[in-house]
Amino acid sequence: MQHSSSRFGLAFLLLAAPAFAQVIHGRDGIRLDAPPDVQAIPVTDDYFGTKIVDNYRWLEDANSTETRAFIDAENAYTNTYLQQARIHSQLSDDLDALENVSDETAPIERAGSYFFERRLAGEEQYSICVRHGWTGKDERLIDPATLSRDPNTSVELYDVSRDGLLLAYGIKQGGADENAVYFFNVKTHKTLTDELPSARYLSLSFTPDGTGVYYSRSSKEGSLLYKHAFGTRNSQDTLLFGHEFRGEPLGGSDLITGSVTDDGHYLLVQIERGVPPRRVDIVFRDLTKPNSPFDILVWSLDARFSAIYAKGAWYVKTDYQSPMGRIMKADPGVMPEAWQTIVPEGKNVIDHWSIVGGKIYVNRLVDVKSETEVYTLDGKPAGGIDYAGIGSASRLIGRTTDRYGYFSFESYLAPPSIFRVDTETGKRDTFFQPKTPFDSSQYELKQVFFKSKDGTQVPMFIVGKKGLKQDGTERLLMTGYGGFNLSELPEWNPAWAWWLQQGGWFAVPNLRGGGEYGEQWHEQGMFEKKQNVFDDWFAAAEYLIANKYTSPEHFAIRGRSNGGLLMGASITQHPELFSAVWCGYPLLDMLRYQRFKVGYYWTTEYGSADDEKQFDYLLKYSPYQNVKMGTAYPAVMFFTGDSDTRVDPMHARKMTALLQAASNSGRPVLLHYSTSGGHSAGVSVDQKIQDDADELAFLWTETGQPPHGGNAR
């Protein structure tokens, strides 16, 4: 790609007003002045003979004085809006009741003790706890409130040694992906002097004897697998895997993870090629033989594999020659065609799997609803796990040698509960059940199917109060994702529960690009076929409008990350369908995304504008390059923050400036920019409530009745 630029000095921001400067009218009587003035400083790129002008390239520099002034001005503008939103204070109180409740995670069982994360009502963050014995008392081991005065400091449990005496945990700030790793002695209640510095860790696993850990760390140069021995300096850590293997180089988008098999015999290494991986390679090392080489389980096949070692054999789940997935007994040194199929491919995709207590637990998605089948290690059916209605279940968590396993189950109408399963008898016990003030009996959840633009049948969940009017006058909130082979399953979200409590409809279409119907469903939303995802989304909106669940003036949509790209496409391709858009941590400039943060990971999903053929289709849908001056765009809130170390906040900054300059609808275009929030979980409960209140206040307000004679959307 040739690049040329024409820049005018970065003088003052208040020199160029938006092209359509006007008084902005929000719904419910909200009135704003014109958005902050932002200077357009053109930079021209030449992509294979096509000239592309970027007026806000200067906003890519997050640390410049001018960019920080832009952020401050935009935040002040957004605050002016939120201060006028009459529902905002009620929202904070309502969400406090829904979100400030006790919660726990599924436990790691070691030597008769149960290690888990717990947050009690009134606490800002999860602590790491232990319960000695099934009926023992819970003991708090790591409390983030004692580690920092910053309520956005969080801890995460990584692993526990086989004897239950040591645990590894991470500490991170806000929503960043990076964290530092520490080690805690459960018996002495002291933290070891050993620590791993803040970085992006992909895996961490104790050595079989508990004298050290294996960990993998990722950077732009690539990911590497190390061994750290306790009591030694980090500079002495042993590099075990990375850079290259048997002459094949490993690059920055090859993600390496390492784990120890449950019997302590092998170190298992998986190499994911890209995000999502286009292929997964697996090697292993015999830990009973010092300095033994890595042997290959599978290598250089364009398919995805995951492996578990149980009772002296390797078991592998793969989509190799089976796009819906199957489970095989693998023989190292031979091709998968010679492996034995244990659980064959079926019509429903395998979503998760595990081996616990010597049995294989297989979660399949049956039209996006979890069903779990149980098999013996030789493939004989051995029952299943029954669930209460439409919802999503986690994989069964436990070791191959454990008698008990743990799973969570949730839905749009029920927060996640955690259960223990006896793998010998099938008996189920409750480990944790939340007490949330939400009466699910007042609501109904149903699934419909609609046709996309090319005739593809696409499923969609719709939730609302029983008896809710279906005459086009009610508000509706729709969310979606459509990418990276990720399935959008029925899950609990307090913000969505609040929307339902107010009498709004809620909908989730299962777009192509996800994994709901296997790898082929994913591939239909990748690369040059990404437009299928957007077409599925627009068809869902048209179905909801045609069936009078809502109408464009009452239609709210929201999405984040790859779902933020979906919001950008909604704004630029069909602004007439929606009244309010919340666009969180988004990808929007698809010609330059791969140059920032870890964007280069995602070229295996989207492609790259550095390739001429891929540039052509990226340009057609890239939201930032498809904003048209003088268009009546809906109300939009872009939501991001400095702590997003995954998707660069420059996307939201640039798109805010461009859309404010381009829109002539008189509807608000806002930037909500946090200095503590980020892409990953980790912010405090109070911060989460504030963020959700800001989002919902905007979406609820901007889908109310438009002023008399005002804009119909």
Per residue in 665-707, pLDDT (tens digit) is 999 999 999 876 555 567 899 999 999 999 999 999 999 988 7
Q: Which residues contact 90 (CB under 8 A, 6 or more apart)?
A: none
Can you tell me the distance from the alpha carbon of 329 to that of 32, in angstroms, rounded to the nearest whole number? 64
- Domain positions in the chain are 2-37+65-96+447-701, 110-260, 348-437
Q: Which residues contact 3 (CB under 8 A, 6 or more apart)?
A: 45, 46
Burial class (CB in 10 A: 0-12, 13-18, 19+), 102: middle
Give the pLDDT of residue 18: 54
Instruction: Count Cβ neighbours within 10 Å for each residue of 398-419 and write b for 16 or more, e otherwise.
Output: bbbebebbbbbbbbbbbbbbbb
Determine the average pLDDT of the residues in 487-506: 98
Determine the average pLDDT of the residues in 50-77: 97
pLDDT band at 388 (very low <50, low <70, confident <90, very high): confident
Residue 459 has pLDDT above 90, yes or no: yes
Give the pLDDT of residue 174: 77
Burial class (CB in 10 A: 0-12, 13-18, 19+), 379: middle
The label of the residue with tokens 């992006």 reads 200
Strand blocks (E) in 323-451: 326-330, 340-343, 349-356, 359-365, 370-376, 381-385, 392-393, 404-411, 414-422, 428-432, 443-451
Report the 10 Å Cβ neighbour count for 21: 13
Strand partners, 138: 131
Burial class (CB in 10 A: 0-12, 13-18, 19+), 606: buried
Give the pLDDT of residue 643: 81
Residue 11 has pLDDT above 50, yes or no: no
Per residue in 581-629, pLDDT (tens digit) is 999 999 999 999 999 999 999 999 999 999 999 999 999 999 999 999 9
Backbone angles phi, psi at 21, to 5 degrees: -55, 130
- Residue 518, by phi and psi: left (phi above 0), alpha (psi -120 to 50) or beta? left
Residue 268 has pLDDT above 70, yes or no: yes
User: 88-99 and 685-701 helices cross at what angle (nearest 10)?
Assistant: 130
Determine the average pLDDT of the residues in 487-508: 98
Residue 651 has pLDDT above 70, yes or no: yes
Written out in words, the top-level CATH class of the domain with range 2-37+65-96+447-701 is alpha beta
Residue 710 has pLDDT above 60, yes or no: no
Q: Tell me whether strands 505-509 and 476-479 are parallel, antiparallel or unpaired.
A: parallel
Residue 269 has pLDDT above 90, yes or no: yes
Active-site positions?
A: 561, 679
Determine the average pLDDT of the residues in 51-64: 97
Q: Which residues contact 645 (CB under 8 A, 6 or more apart)?
A: 176, 177, 178, 200, 597, 598, 678, 679
Comparing C-alpha atoms, which of 524, 487, 527 is closest to residue 508? 487
Give the pLDDT of residue 644: 83
What integer best gives the mean pLDDT of the chain?
Answer: 94
Question: What's the sign of the alpha-carbon dihedral 127, 128, 132, 135?
Answer: positive
Give the pLDDT of residue 678: 59
pLDDT band at 5 (very low <50, low <70, confident <90, very high): very low
374 neighbors 474 (Cβ within 8 angstroms): no
Strand partners, 385: 372
Give the pLDDT of residue 709: 44
Q: For the chain, what percentages of helix, strand and coil (3-state, to nearest 5) are there? A: 20, 35, 40
DSSP state letters, 178-229: -EEEEEEETTTTEEEEEEEEEEEEEEEEE-TTSSEEEEEEEETTEEEEEEEE
17 DSSP 8-state letter: -
Residue 571 has pLDDT above 60, yes or no: yes
Residue 502 has pLDDT above 60, yes or no: yes
Give the pLDDT of residue 393: 97
pLDDT band at 251 (very low <50, low <70, confident <90, very high): confident
Comparing C-alpha atoms, which of 71, 11, 72, 80 is closest to residue 39? 11
pLDDT band at 480 (very low <50, low <70, confident <90, very high): very high
Can you tell me the distance from the alpha carbon of 612 to that of 141, in angstroms, rounded to the nearest whole number? 55
Percentage of residues in the chain having pLDDT higher than 90: 90
Give the pLDDT of residue 220: 79
Can you tell me the distance from the alpha carbon of 94 to that of 198, in angstroms, rounded to the nearest whole number? 36
* Residue 543 tokens, joined: 């179905």
Helix residue ranges per DSSP H, 574-684 = 603-606, 612-621, 650-662
Written out in words, the top-level CATH class of the domain with range 110-260 is mainly beta
The label of the residue with tokens 């033989």 reads 289
Per residue in 15-47, pLDDT (tens digit) is 344 555 578 999 999 999 999 999 999 999 999
Give the pLDDT of residue 13: 37
682 neighbors 155 (Cβ within 8 angstroms): no
Burial class (CB in 10 A: 0-12, 13-18, 19+), 618: buried
Per residue in 119-128, pLDDT (tens digit) is 999 999 999 9
Per residue in 187-196, pLDDT (tens digit) is 999 999 999 9
Give the pLDDT of residue 151: 93
Determine the average pLDDT of the residues in 50-73: 97
Can you tell me the distance from the alpha carbon of 606 to that of 562, in angstroms, rounded to the nearest whole number? 10
Q: Tell me the residue type at 513.
A: G
Element (H, E) at 563: helix 562-573
508 DSSP 8-state letter: E
Determine the average pLDDT of the residues in 340-358: 98
Give the pLDDT of residue 632: 98
Global pTM reads 0.94
